[in-house]
């Protein structure tokens, strides 16, 4: 296992299960970002959205230089066969609101940056091994995850993005931005999210009802993944 691993969430509700278990000590904060430490783990609460995620990750990497970053929390499901509480591990991330196709970039690609941000192979392999444990059977999916500053409550937006990104399993509001900064700093990165809502299907109400479930399921899988990494 890398010497120090950072775990990132956007919201305090997503971090609360870890805080309750680990009783971390705060080592940095500003108006938005909170960084805490518990043994060999750093906990980063970034704030919601791509800009907050990017700024928080840059601070984390510059000040504390973790060996890897796991981004956990909630997400909206794009695949209709996902259920609330299922965990989606991103094999790659891209932006659903980036469009420079007029300059021959791929849809979802920021100019002069990679088309997608693939998961770190070692972290992804450990997540795949974790998913084989009987307790997670049928509840872990691996695939493409989108990032946007838009919450996916609009049925028309969700339908359009399903057509434009037919391989996408889920959408969040921070993952690809965190992956981009991890790429810039050369830090291994993995994004894993638990489903709190299905994009376009009464998503706001579902999110409120299922956030606690999603937070607990994401933390549960993350803690088991950490055990796998420690044994490696």
Q: Is 164 a catalytic residue?
A: no
Tell me how far apart the alpha carbons of residues 120 and 131 are, in angstroms, rounded to a whole number: 16
Q: Outline where 48-113 has alpha helix (H).
A: 50-64
pTM score over 0.85:
yes
Domains of the chain, each with CATH number or no CATH: 5-231 (3.40.50.1580)
- DSSP for 123-146? HHHHHHHHHTSGGGTTSEEEEEEE
Catalytic residue among 14, 86, 120, 174: 14
Contact 212, 149 (CB under 8 A): no
Quote the pLDDT of residue 199: 83
Three-state secondary-structure class, residue 152: coil
Contact 194, 86 (CB under 8 A): yes
Q: Is 92 a catalytic residue?
A: no
Tell me how far apart the alpha carbons of residues 94 and 107 are, in angstroms, rounded to a whole number: 9
List 89's β-bridge partners, or say none: 142, 192
Backbone angles phi, psi at 71, to 5 degrees: -100, 115
Tell me how far apart the alpha carbons of residues 165 and 227 are, in angstroms, rounded to a whole number: 33
pLDDT digits (tens, 9 = 90+) for 35-65: 999 999 999 999 999 999 999 999 999 999 9
Catalytic residue among 86, 92, 174, 197: 197
- One digit per residue, the tens of pLDDT, for the chain of length 232 reads 558 999 999 999 999 999 999 999 999 999 999 999 999 999 999 999 999 999 999 999 999 999 999 999 999 999 889 999 999 999 999 999 999 999 999 999 999 999 999 999 999 999 999 999 999 999 999 999 999 998 887 888 889 999 999 999 999 999 999 999 999 999 999 999 999 988 877 767 778 888 999 999 999 999 999 998 988 7
């Amino acid at each position: 296992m890398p010497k120090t691993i950072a775990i990132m969430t956007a919201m305090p509700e997503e971090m609360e299960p870890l805080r309750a278990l680990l009783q971390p000590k705060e080592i940095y904060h500003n108006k938005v970002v909170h960084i805490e430490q518990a043994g060999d783990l750093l906990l980063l609460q970034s704030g919601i959205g791509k800009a907050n995620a990017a700024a928080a990750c840059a601070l984390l990497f510059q000040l504390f230089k973790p060996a890897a970053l796991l981004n956990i929390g909630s997400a909206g499901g794009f695949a209709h066969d996902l259920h609330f509480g299922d965990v989606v591990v991103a094999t790659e991330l891209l932006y659903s609101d980036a469009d420079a196709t007029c300059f021959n970039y791929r849809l979802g690609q920021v100019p002069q940056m990679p088309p997608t941000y693939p998961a770190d192979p070692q972290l992804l392999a450990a997540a795949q091994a974790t998913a084989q444990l009987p307790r997670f059977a049928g509840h872990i999916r691996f695939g493409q995850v989108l990032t946007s500053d838009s919450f996916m409550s609009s049925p028309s937006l969700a339908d359009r993005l399903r057509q434009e990104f037919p391989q996408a399993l889920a959408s969040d509001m921070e993952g690809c931005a965190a992956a981009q900064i991890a790429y810039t700093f050369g830090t291994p990165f993995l994004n894993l999210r638990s489903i709190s809502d299905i994009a376009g299907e009464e998503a706001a109400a579902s999110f409120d009802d299922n956030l606690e479930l999603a937070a607990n399921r994401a933390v549960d899988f993350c803690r088991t993944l950490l055990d796998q990494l420690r044994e490696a």
